[in-house]
Structure 1
Amino acid sequence: MPVSIIRDKKKIVSLTMERSSSMKLISDRLKNGEKPIGTFLNLGSQTAAECVAIAGMDYFIVDLEHSPFGLAEAADCIRMAKLKGISPLVRIPEISRANILKHLDVGAEGIIIPGLKTREEAEKIVEYGKYTPLGSRGFCPTRVCEFGYGDAFANGILEYTRKTNEETMLIPQCETLECLADIENIVSVEGISGIFIGPFDLSLAMGIPAQFDRPEFKEAITKVLTVCHEKNKPVFIFAPNKETARLRLEQGFDSVTVNGDLNVMTEAYMEIVKSIRA
């Protein structure tokens, strides 16, 4: 549907495709005590993003760390998210100003940062991802704010940057020994929204690959959970299946990211083939 522009004496009103009335920021869900459920997007497909929204997921994470696509595909998925009322997050491949700024500018509600090791890296994330006074994020009226013509600027740029700082989530992943050891200092950085535990990489770093029942692994994730909750910051964790997801929520995790579009599709087709050939 084309965008129609109606001009009057006082303002320009942009009539766009109607957004889902159920649109709710993931940051608001967490503040309200909800336990949002999400998944990874590894296919880079806006149709996959749409299907995830139709399925009832609260958010998705466009995975740019392990997937062979980039900003353009992420932007398409984010655009679909805004239309379908699901929160879009992006996992960037590495810490850089461009990686953080560009994905926030196209509308990501939050950035997941893999492989974090130090408090200094956490501070750099805030510098790139938050406007002054918390950071030094560069400003430009891009599509995240309807290019400066949307309601976001109704109360001026200062209110826009304040509100954006409040709503934008910057979430490092705890998946290194260094991050685990210094988790209290890392999560104490103002502007860091929470922590995402990557259980596979963390267990690899601990020398116990995918041995999630080992006491030392359980102690590690409990440590992260306890420290973050003492700082009133949420903890996300990846779950490979629905059984693990339910367990993690029962353990007190604030959100679970369950599997990913690529694996879910592959496993579904494998089950179909298996049942037909049985």
Structure 2
Amino acid sequence: MPLPLSPTFRAALAAADRPLVGMWVCSGSPVVAEICAGAGLDWLLVDMEHGPNGLGSVLAQLQAVAAYPATPVVRVPSDDAVVIKQVLDLGAQNLLVPMVSSAADAERVVRAVRYPPRGVRGVGSALARSARWNRVEGYLADADDHVSLVVQVETAAGVDAAAAIARVDGVDGVLVGPSDLAASLGLLGQQTHPDVTAAARRVLDAVAGVGVPVGVNAFDPAVADAYLAAGASFVIVGADVTLLARGSDALAARFVDRTPPGRGA
């Protein structure tokens, strides 16, 4: 029996009448991913670059999230074509590739997600969840329709090349990464520094000018609001691990880091 696949992040962006709001899932836990998927956010970013995620944990999280409306996007650790092939074969339909700083970088990534003759993706659909073990009719012929690609601009060179990157056929979106961008600008740890936000705005303007969706990572609500007002098509406004860290900090501050009643000076 032929099986359908879920709409891509590209399709979700095209259908949206407002910016899409998402969060990072970095814990590696399918239970946490499922909890986040049910929160009402538009999309989730499962992170293999800085999170403790391998192929097995990504697969489990994709399976956990599949029951919910939130669109899962997987950030691969690099532009390595072998890793990209493996993650696509797991059934990830939406990829984010970090550290894309030129049109040539973007072209290489596009080739990694496409089958020959347009790309170099290895063919193993009969063995893989991507095609539901060949239960998705016409998967090989229509594979480009089932995969969307977002590339991450997070260097000074990437800022300068943002429009050229966005024009590469096969790039469906561009995400600004302020943390590494700040480091590239000599402002390590200062994601909200005016020079960093100005560079991010340059990317927003350049990519939007090409007609490609553009997003940004912004955990500070005021900064996120400013990027949304500047025209961001999608944003990431938090992460599972930071929510847990700050929530547990608040519990400790409330119940541990205080003078017991009646024992004050």
Fold match by TM threshold 0.5: yes
Which of 141, 152, 156 aligns to 1:161? It is 141
Q: How does 1:42-121 map to 2 (within 5 A)?
A: 42-121=26-105
1:28 aligns with 2:11: yes
Distance across 2 between alignment mates of 1:51 and 1:93: 24
Distance across 1 between alignment mates of 2:106 and 2:44: 22
Contact 2:201 2:227 in 1 (8 A): no
The corresponding residue for 1:172 is: 151
SS in 1 for 2:91: coil
Unmatched runs of 5 consecutive residues or more in structure 2 = 259-265
Contact 1:26 1:58 in 2 (8 A): no
The corresponding residue for 2:170 is: 191
**Shift in Å at residue 125 of structure 1?**
0.4
1:15-61: CA deviation from partner (whole Å, max 9, x where unpaired): xxxx9xxx754222210233211111111000011010111122211
Distance across 1 between alignment mates of 2:91 and 2:72: 8
**Match for 1:26: what amino acid?**
F
**% identity of equivalent residues:** 25
Q: How does 1:210-249 map to 2 (within 5 A)?
A: 210-212=189-191, 214-249=193-228
1:197-248: CA deviation from partner (whole Å, max 9, x where unpaired): 0111101111123445554333322221112112211112111143333332
Distance across 1 between alignment mates of 2:7 and 2:134: 21
**Shift in Å at residue 84 of structure 1?**
2.3
State the aligned residue count. Answer: 253
Which of 106, 109, 115 aligns to 1:125? It is 109
The corresponding residue for 1:208 is: 187
Task: Say if 1:214 and 1:243 are closer, same or farther in 2 by CA, change over 3 A.
Answer: closer
Distance across 2 between alignment mates of 1:132 and 1:254: 31
Distance across 2 between alignment mates of 1:40 and 1:50: 13
The corresponding residue for 2:22 is: 38
Which of 210, 235, 247 aligns to 1:268? It is 247
Unmatched runs of 5 consecutive residues or more in structure 1 = 1-11
